[in-house]
Structure 1
């Protein structure tokens, strides 16, 4: 089950870093202006697109449960959609194409999550709803905190979070060569959960600052938040499923005794 944590979130971070983030310096950190109406309207479009992506992901999960389509191919297709989407210029005549790619990426991501969700349903179906609600609550709280906080207050997290992603990549690389223990997999899961919760705050504030500087690419911005949500959801789902399986095993032992 720990293998599901290896690609969700980190692959997008590596892909997205190749296209670069908006530049900023120390003086921008002191800018505490309120969010302008134009930026507020941009955030509405971002969260509307994000909600549509959630629906597409749910469809992808359903398609896997019905036809068993999720796996390595859908994961590779998901990464392909990410690269294709990020490589398309943000001109108005490309908007519909980029939106379709966003929905396709979300659907493929949901299908790729299908095998994990199928396992969880067989162990304890209630864990799935609890993990989704928990992820949604965490996303609303962290994203809302970033919106209501002082301007650029959490941008300094970018360097720390980038270092954290590098640590996870090196751990995965070392595990592939030398073999990974259960304790390492647990560390990757919990550390990754904290890391991508931080990315929710960081990406939300970066979206605000980019929009304030004239970058209204709501498709790319909603994709960033979607991958953050998916990365948190996968890790939280794995943690809760492990706990549920452990409790079930303890109950079986008690009954035998």
Structure 2
């Protein structure tokens, strides 16, 4: 039974030999800020769903855009660090509120969709993030042009489908969009590493990229599960 007697070094799983120690420290700040964003966004979503706060999608969008612009034009410095984290929390809160309509749709169809979608998003995001961190530097940076091109096509197809109303096209849009956002997790993670290696230490803004990727994946998985569950209910009838 010697094959069962193995010492597994779990600390080795957290060692990224291709990333410098200073960059690893920076990534810790990025993911700590990312965790803060998820908590605040969850609070925003809860407030919207339970208390019906800010039901207007325009006000929510304006709030998110305003916070993002404020963060963008607030210089990264040690003096502004707490202020920028507060702005980041505000952006996350409005983003969470913006999830309200999708959450309400899922609650009306099947409440179990929400935890399932969140768990699936967490697994997907973690797997793709680790793939980017363990891969050789710049491996996935080539994806940038491809992802932006596909994203542009998805935007155009979404506009066309507003007039056509095709369910098939909507499904294709959702599934392809999900794959694209998974690709962005790979791309953005390695892009952050390159920015840090080149002297960009703005971990707050780097967190925004990953947070938006996570939210986009979560939203798309929710909608896909809701559509599938709705079709199942129609077939039962």
- Scaled by the length of structure 2, the TM-score of the pair is 0.88
Name the counterpart of 1:121. 107
Name the counterpart of 2:212. 227
Alignment equivalent of 2:129, drawn from 119, 138, 143 = 143
- Measured after TM superposition, the shift of residue 144 of structure 1 is 0.4
Structure 1 counterpart SS, 2:99: helix
Alignment equivalent of 1:63, drawn from 28, 32, 47 = 47
Structure 1 counterpart SS, 2:201: coil
Alignment equivalent of 1:183, drawn from 163, 168, 173 = 168
Q: How many residues align?
A: 220
- Scaled by the length of structure 1, the TM-score of the pair is 0.81
**Cα deviations across residues 169-217 of structure 1 (Å, max 9, x unaligned)?**
22233344x4442222222211111110000000000111111111111
- Measured after TM superposition, the shift of residue 39 of structure 1 is 0.3
2-structure distance, mates of 1:139, 1:113: 18
The runs of 5 or more residues in structure 1 that have no matched partner are: 1-32
Name the counterpart of 1:192. 177
Alignment equivalent of 1:45, drawn from 17, 29, 32 = 29
**Cα deviations across residues 7-50 of structure 1 (Å, max 9, x unaligned)?**
xxxxxxxxxxxxxxxxxxxxxxxxxx721110000000000000
Structure 2 counterpart SS, 1:92: coil
- Report whether the alignment pairs 1:201 with 2:189: no
**Cα deviations across residues 43-73 of structure 1 (Å, max 9, x unaligned)?**
0000000000000000001101222124311
1-structure distance, mates of 2:155, 2:101: 23
Change (3 A) 1:237 1:166: same
The runs of 5 or more residues in structure 2 that have no matched partner are: 1-16
2-structure distance, mates of 1:100, 1:223: 13
1-structure distance, mates of 2:108, 2:165: 26
1-structure distance, mates of 2:107, 2:120: 17
- The Cα RMSD (Å) is 1.6
1-structure distance, mates of 2:150, 2:90: 29
**Cα deviations across residues 137-171 of structure 1 (Å, max 9, x unaligned)?**
00000000000001110000001011122112222
1-structure distance, mates of 2:169, 2:233: 23
Name the counterpart of 1:9. none
